[in-house]
Structure 1
Amino acid sequence: MRKQPLTRMLMLLLCLVMMLSIISGCSSDSAEPAASKQPSAAPEATQQSANSGEIPASYKAGTYKAEADGKDGKIQVEVTMDDKQQITDIQIISQNETAGIGVEAMNKVTDQILSGQTLSIDAVSGASESSQAILSAVEDALKQAGGDVGAFKSRTVVKAGQGQTEQLSADVIVVGAGASGVSAAVSAADKGAKVIIIEKTATIGGASNLSWAGKFYNSSAAVSSGLKINVEKEISDWIVNNHWRVDAAAIRQYVTQSGETYDWLSQKGYTTTFLNMGGEQLHMLPEYDTRQELLRAMLAESVEKHGGQVITEATAKKLITGSNGEVQGVMAEKADGTSLEITGTSIVMATGGYAANKEMVRDAFGFEGVNGGLGQNIGEGLEMSWAAGAKVPDNFGGQMLHQTLARATEKLKTQYEPFEASYPLMLTYLPNFMNVGSSGARFRDEASTLSSVAAANTSAFNGPYHLVVISKSQIDALKAKGMKGVEAPALPGMPPEFYQPFAEQFTLDNPWKDADKVFDSMVVNGDGYKGNTIEELASNAGLNAAVFTDAFNSYQEATRTGVDTEFGKAKEYLLPMGESGPYYAIIAEINNLGSVGGLLVNTQFQVLNDKRVPVQGLYAVGLESEGVLFNDTYVGNGVGIGYSFTSGRLGGEDAAAHALAK
């Protein structure tokens, strides 16, 4: 009878020894990453399957090249593996991802792969395409080596902070560290508030890192340059152009106070450069690769210097509310799994809207364009605010439709130099070509392409894409004389980042060599259509043959007479298409830079409830609050970024005043 407990004890000891052996074996499988690519953070624990230490007979150590599609083109890597099937080095040898967003994400993912010897890694928030490209390329390299891909995918990362909760407090909590969030945090701290700002990605600056210029009305730079607008006329025209369905006080606040934001940013070291853009007061932002550093410096000098905190890679999950509905804080989760409970008196939402949430955009706006903004902006901030009692605005759904895109561009960049790869894109910005919708009918005066907002909205009203039709004779003219050959009135009005890689070639008289080959490649890639006749083009493009033929013939007649009876297109833009094929159709899509609105605010940037009364403690700045300026969609030029900085500056001051008065 006494032997039974002893036997049970021996069995327990044996199990303990076996468990220690397994743990020891797992530990010995993890090699230190090569010195050339040390992890930027302490490696997290990994759990791997029992057979993950087995090395396939087909495996061969070495260095392998692989590539995958990122957000902005191909990403090429070199992956080195040792004879123990350990990944010892990952070198990114070619990439075109966005500095400060995609590049940081790639570096983080490679660090995690090396430290955990795993492919079971979550994509970095805001850079999912860049993250996934690295994982796909490394997986391809493993396959080339004959390695056990399944073993690398079975090792799951155990987050170090899982199950832990950290409690923090501040006077003002800012959710989101884009232009508006940083401005709000800095101005609140300058007023004496203790501020905590959280950002779901590793990047400070948000969409401002991708923007070109902002509008700060009657800034000191504009006035000293001799350009001063009539404030009352600007406000009046703005209200009328938006059919009076706007907050006139909010418009007045922005127009009259945004000029001060220019000087405020300059004093903070974030210097913008004034540009007279045909009578518009635009201010170019600092060099792209300096912006994040400048904004971080602003936060350090104000927020951190006054006892506050800047917490990146922390995603807000829920607003904390009190018994009377007042907002008292934020629940968030850090990248390592730690829960954050941050309490405060004023909470400022600056989460950038929902343009990356395709379903939400489609439901709210009926539009299926391309998200040209940030992948992390999926609407969580709005959802949390609505759950806390915020009103869904009556004009909810507006978007910031801006540039035109050619679907062909990215694939062509893998086959041709940037200038040649951009041939289809450049033609979408010129008024000299016939534009048709999905039925084959013309839908606008193509001179709308000369204004980015007009181009985007006329296309979006027509559907998710349109087609730019170009003929053989027009391609021949481009090959011979460049854009002068097709009588382009000016260079295509693309944003600078579109043509920066080929700026020296971006002239009206530079011949388009191999243009016919480029357009044929576009068709082969599935990003456009070709037909030797108009009827064949209609069939290949899925157009209604009768509708398209009638539109084409009418357009041809207009080019002969110089009179466009349907849309009134100017004679100088009516370029003949010749009498023979082949003909091509470029698929053109619209770039959606961000959603507009989602939270209704007053001029103190307090969020309003269904009775249009402030939700105590809740504020909103930037895109989330911008719906007060526009009717159903954004029609500004530089207003988006100008308003973000201005609303952040003013909203932060208001949030601080409320918090410090308690």
Structure 2
Amino acid sequence: MDHKWDASYDVIVVGSGSGGFAAAITAEKKGLKSLIIEKSSKYGGSSALSGGGVWIPNNPVLKEAGLDDSYEKSKDYLDSTVGNRVSDARKVAYIKRGTEMINFMRDNTSQVLFQYVPGYSDYYPERKGGLPRGRSIECPIFDLRKLGKDLENMRRNVLPTKGLVINSYEFHKVNMITRTWIGKRTAVKLGMRLIKSRLTGANYSSLGVALIARLRAAHLETNGELWLSTAFVDYVTEGNRVIGIIAEKNGKRIQIEAKYGVILASGGFSCSQEMREKYLPSPTKVEWTSSAPDQTGDIIDVSLRLGAKLDLMDRVWGAPTVIMPDGTPYFLVADRGIPNMICINQVGERFVNEAVPYHQFVDTMYAKDKPEARSSTCWIIVNEVAKQRYIFMTLFPKQPFHQKWLESGFVKKAHTPAELAKQIGVPADKLTATIERFNRFAKNGVDEDFHRGDSAYDRYYGDPTLKNPNLLTMDEGPYYALQVVPGDIGTKGGLLTDEYARVVKEDGSYIEGLFATGNCSSSMMGETYPGPGATIGPSMTFGYVAATYLADQAKK
């Protein structure tokens, strides 16, 4: 069959997040002509809005930092967390090929560099193979001036850090600015970086922005193409093989040939209310997601027509979230490590270890939700001592809540637990008893109900000067409460793939020429979340795997 192609490439990549760039860079470096198409007018996807952590077990950056990891430990840990929810072949491929991917990026680009995040624990360090010192790596600080005019097209997260550029490890330290000397020294370091940027004109970036900026800089060096505002519409097929795509660019339908294959890296369906209601637990709202806009699951229905198999469609990368007055979701991470803080359900009782990994917190919000004791929305409560000591809700220690927040009722304030209970609509006697019980635990240093502070992960964001870094009495007011919803940083269900990132069909075969990685594919992590960066790590790894597979096929 003859097709009238408007353009022709060896490989087409759909989506410009970390997985998409990893795939395109790999393809170009291995001699394939590639094109990235991006539905949005900005490149970077949810990766650019993320913390930028990359969790890949047994990778060379960890070894160079002196971390005692191994293939055996890594496999044990995936087996003890992910279990058999994902095939053994995919787990093995992830460990082995992830290391390959890191080495490939370091050996073949001048910009994609990584550094260890010391002490950022695996999320379940007590499980077999888990590491309390953590396996997460991140990109060093990057000067965005290196992107030139291309920076205008990049998605960027506006962080409320007063102009300070902070990486993951530094935030962990500066969070204790009032409590430790290293917190104070880190604050001075950040201040000096800010002064340097003002004096030199440097445009420093960190976290997900630094990751995407480095990937884009490397992509520009390959001369690979990126089309923005170009939406995927459908596949062009011959028999069981995908040979190209139909896309919409500038309002016009075009056909683009993919001589060797199409790699999907287009994100999940977190921004489709219809799909959320179809697949996810209730309640669920688009407004609760912290993912990039335009992630509406465009590839799902058209892939089903090709016989693709779906998996994990009822799961999200959970993120307990406060919806700010302007409608922006604020993702609670370090805030839940504050020692004089609790989260309660709608009857005034604690229902969870507040400091658990964020996805587990959201899973628990749904699992404990009952008509007589709702937890699918809950409340986070801190007292004035916490506000004076720790960073909370983007505010630094001693910085008061914005008056507008208090006047609008976004932040509830009261001088006693009973008064606060009245404001948030929970039984006063229950909330009073809950705080009194928590205070007893804090005095003893042991959370008898939920074991908060037992895990190295809990303690990472806690106060190291305390007997239990995650427990401190809340016997002094005023008290403050904010409502928490079960948000997410993306959905984790999608097209089932094999160890080569090939899209699998319902009958167990695969669709030739079609590959997927990232949140449009079913997660390599199954129903869990083993460590910081366990979204980006697999996305980049299997983007690399797919492109390598296609390059090998092209040589045959």
TM-score (norm 1): 0.60
- Describe the SS at the equivalent of 1:244: helix
- Structure 1 256/562 Cα, relative in aligned 2: closer, same or farther at 3 Å? closer
Matching residue of 1:275: 117
User: What are the within-5 Å matches in structure 2 for residues 201-600 of structure 1?
Assistant: 201-211=40-50, 212-266=52-106, 267-268=108-109, 269-278=111-120, 279-286=133-140, 287=142, 288=205, 294-302=214-222, 304=224, 309-322=225-238, 324-334=239-249, 336-345=250-259, 346-366=261-281, 368=284, 370-393=288-311, 395-402=312-319, 404-408=320-324, 427-448=335-356, 451-459=357-365, 461-462=367-368, 463-470=375-382, 474-475=383-384, 477-478=385-386, 482-483=388-389, 512-513=398-399, 515=400, 518=401, 521-531=404-414, 534-544=417-427, 547-548=430-431, 550-552=433-435, 554-555=437-438, 558=441, 564-569=447-452, 572=468, 573-578=470-475, 583-589=479-485, 591-600=487-496
Distance 2:313 2:328 in 1: 37
Matched, 1:646 2:486: no
Q: How big is the shift at 1:312?
A: 1.9
- Structure 1 521/299 Cα, relative in aligned 2: closer, same or farther at 3 Å? closer
Letter in structure 2 aligned against 1:313: S
Moved more, 295-304 or 249-258: 295-304
Asked if 1 retains the 8 angstrom alpha-carbon contact of 2:380 and 2:482, the reply is yes
Q: How big is the shift at 1:314?
A: 0.6
- Describe the SS at the equivalent of 2:227: strand
Deviation digits for residues 286-323 of structure 1, max 9, x if unmatched?
4336655543443344354xxxx43221101111233x
Distance 2:29 2:324 in 1: 48
Deviation digits for residues 325-356 of structure 1, max 9, x if unmatched?
4322211101x212111122411111111222
Q: How big is the shift at 1:229?
A: 0.6
Distance 2:222 2:415 in 1: 65
Percent identity of equivalent pairs: 25
Letter in structure 1 aligned against 2:501: F
Matching residue of 2:551: 656
Letter in structure 1 aligned against 2:315: G
Matching residue of 1:187: 26
Distance 1:300 1:238 in 2: 35
1:173 is aligned, of 6, 12, 25, to 12
Distance 2:59 2:273 in 1: 37
Q: How big is the shift at 1:578?
A: 3.1
More helix by share: 1
- Describe the SS at the equivalent of 1:330: strand
- Structure 1 315/660 Cα, relative in aligned 2: closer, same or farther at 3 Å? farther
Distance 2:515 2:386 in 1: 53
Letter in structure 1 aligned against 2:118: N
- Describe the SS at the equivalent of 1:361: helix
Q: How big is the shift at 1:408?
A: 4.6
- Describe the SS at the equivalent of 1:657: helix
Matching residue of 2:501: 605
Distance 2:520 2:104 in 1: 22
Asked if 2 retains the 8 angstrom alpha-carbon contact of 1:434 and 1:469, the reply is yes
Q: How big is the shift at 1:651?
A: 0.8
Asked if 1 retains the 8 angstrom alpha-carbon contact of 2:421 and 2:427, the reply is yes
Letter in structure 1 aligned against 2:138: M
Q: How big is the shift at 1:379?
A: 0.7
Distance 1:519 1:639 in 2: 35
Letter in structure 2 aligned against 1:607: V
User: What are the within-5 Å matches in structure 2 for residues 36-185 of structure 1?
Assistant: 167-185=6-24
Distance 2:103 2:444 in 1: 54
2:514 is aligned, of 618, 624, 627, to 618
Q: How big is the shift at 1:558?
A: 4.5
Asked if 2 retains the 8 angstrom alpha-carbon contact of 1:203 and 1:292, the reply is no
Distance 1:238 1:651 in 2: 22
- Structure 1 281/186 Cα, relative in aligned 2: closer, same or farther at 3 Å? same
The alignment of Structure 1 onto Structure 2 pairs a total of residues equal to 447
Distance 2:334 2:30 in 1: 48
Structure 1: 5+ residue stretches without partners:
1-164, 414-421, 484-490
- Structure 1 315/432 Cα, relative in aligned 2: closer, same or farther at 3 Å? same
Q: How big is the shift at 1:412?
A: 12
Matching residue of 2:187: none
Asked if 1 retains the 8 angstrom alpha-carbon contact of 2:12 and 2:34, the reply is yes
- Structure 1 520/467 Cα, relative in aligned 2: closer, same or farther at 3 Å? farther
Distance 2:345 2:55 in 1: 33
Moved more, 404-413 or 535-544: 404-413
Distance 1:191 1:660 in 2: 10
Matching residue of 1:103: none
TM-score (norm 2): 0.71
Q: How big is the shift at 1:391?
A: 0.8
Distance 1:243 1:358 in 2: 31
Structure 2: 5+ residue stretches without partners:
121-132, 143-204, 369-374, 454-466
Structural RMSD (CA): 3.4
Asked if 1 retains the 8 angstrom alpha-carbon contact of 2:338 and 2:386, the reply is no
- Work out which structure has the larger RCO, using CA pairs closer than 8 Å and 6 or more positions apart in sequence: 2
Asked if 2 retains the 8 angstrom alpha-carbon contact of 1:438 and 1:543, the reply is yes
Letter in structure 2 aligned against 1:275: V
Asked if 1 retains the 8 angstrom alpha-carbon contact of 2:97 and 2:545, the reply is no
Distance 1:411 1:447 in 2: 25
- Describe the SS at the equivalent of 1:187: helix
- Structure having the higher Rg: 1
